[in-house]
């Protein structure tokens, strides 16, 4: 009888010990890491609202930092540089064109110039990662929203020769420098690999900005342009992440029995 009780006790102790060991062995994969990441950004953007009257599709590149806490709350800051070559409203130069159909330089020959979109944006963001796999809590659906600043203008550059109608003073009446408060939202998927070499997120990014023309007066229309504008940007966004793991649990922190 004593032997039977001893066998039962040993068996029960062995089962409890094995269950505890398996739980610890699993826990090291279940937790969410505290991670600071440098992020390198690429956006393929399409404008809407007032911005779409002047500019077409374009791109932007950016850089920032992102902190993800152990409870998967995310905080980020970023800056982006906008650029593109599609300008819809080239009629702004009509009054500068001569009877031969070109803008003359100071020698009377056709001016060599180019136009394009240039701009920038800055945002502070907060959001969360919604993980669906309890063994990979750093990965999942990423949602962010934020507030910041958006600026864009027609970039007019002249080359090799002087163009009096587009010198550094007159060009300010044509470049449509516009900026203002911007709101941003992002929805996509975030992934951190176990080997820590492949880390990224990708998804749809949306910006709404409340802007004004900071030049105030347009030379081509000979009118003041001081009304409020609403600009939209919808983009496919991809971000490459370089993570720094903070307070990460290591295997030797767990008690294996």
Residue 251 has pLDDT above 90, yes or no: no
- In this predicted model, what pLDDT tens digit does every residue of 226-242 receive, in sequence order? 889 999 999 999 999 99
pLDDT at 249: 54
Cα(55)–Cα(45) distance, integer angstroms: 11
Closest CA to 41 of 120, 137, 128: 120
**Residue 254 exposure: Cα atoms within 13 Å on the Cβ side:** 18
Read off the pLDDT of each residue in 121-141 and give the average, rounded to a whole number.
Answer: 93
Q: 3-class DSSP state for residue 62?
A: strand
152 close to 119: Cβ distance less than 8 angstroms: yes
pTM attached to this predicted model: 0.81
* Residues β-bridged to residue 43: 60, 237
What mean pLDDT is predicted for residues 19-32? 46
Is 204:237 a contact under the CB 8 Å cutoff?
yes
Q: Who has greater pLDDT, 38 or 197?
A: 38
Higher pLDDT, 137 or 233: 233
Identify which of 38, 223, 28 has the alpha carbon closest to the alpha carbon of residue 137.
Answer: 28
Of the listed ranges 80-84, 162-166, 177-181, 184-188, the least confidently predicted one is 162-166
Instruction: Lowest mean pLDDT of 10-19, 47-56, 168-177, 243-252, name the range.
Output: 10-19
- Comparing CA positions, the residue from 245, 233, 236 lying closest to residue 201 is 236
Q: Compute the average pLDDT of residues 6-31.
A: 44
| Predicted local confidence at residue 28, as pLDDT | 46
Contact 227, 210 (CB under 8 A): no
Residue 65: closest CA among 111, 122, 115, 134: 122
């Amino acid at each position: 009888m004593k032997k039977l009780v001893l066998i039962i006790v040993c068996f029960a102790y062995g089962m409890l010990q094995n269950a505890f060991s398996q739980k610890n062995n699993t826990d090291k994969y279940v937790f969410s890491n505290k991670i600071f990441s440098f992020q390198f950004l690429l956006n393929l953007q399409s404008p809407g609202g007032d911005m779409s009257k002047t500019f077409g599709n374009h791109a932007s590149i950016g850089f920032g930092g992102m902190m993800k806490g152990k409870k998967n709350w995310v905080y980020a800051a970023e800056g982006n540089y906008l650029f593109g070559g599609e300008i819809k409203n080239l009629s702004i130069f009509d009054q500068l064109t001569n009877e031969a159909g070109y803008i003359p330089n100071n020698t009377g020959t056709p001016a060599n110039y180019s136009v394009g979109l240039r701009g920038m944006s800055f945002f502070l963001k907060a959001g969360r990662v919604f993980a669906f796999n309890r063994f990979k809590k750093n990965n999942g659906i990423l949602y962010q929203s934020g507030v910041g600043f958006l600026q864009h203008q027609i970039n007019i550059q002249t080359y090799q020769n002087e163009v009096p109608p587009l010198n550094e003073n007159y060009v300010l009446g044509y470049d449509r420098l516009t900026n203002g408060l911007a709101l941003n939202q992002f929805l996509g998927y975030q992934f951190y690999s176990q080997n820590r070499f492949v880390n990224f997120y990708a998804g749809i990014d949306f910006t709404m900005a409340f802007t004004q023309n900071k030049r105030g007066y347009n030379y081509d229309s000979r009118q003041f342009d001081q009304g409020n504008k609403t600009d939209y940007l919808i983009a496919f966004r991809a971000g490459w992440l370089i993570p720094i793991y903070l307070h990460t649990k290591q295997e030797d922190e767990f008690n294996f029995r």
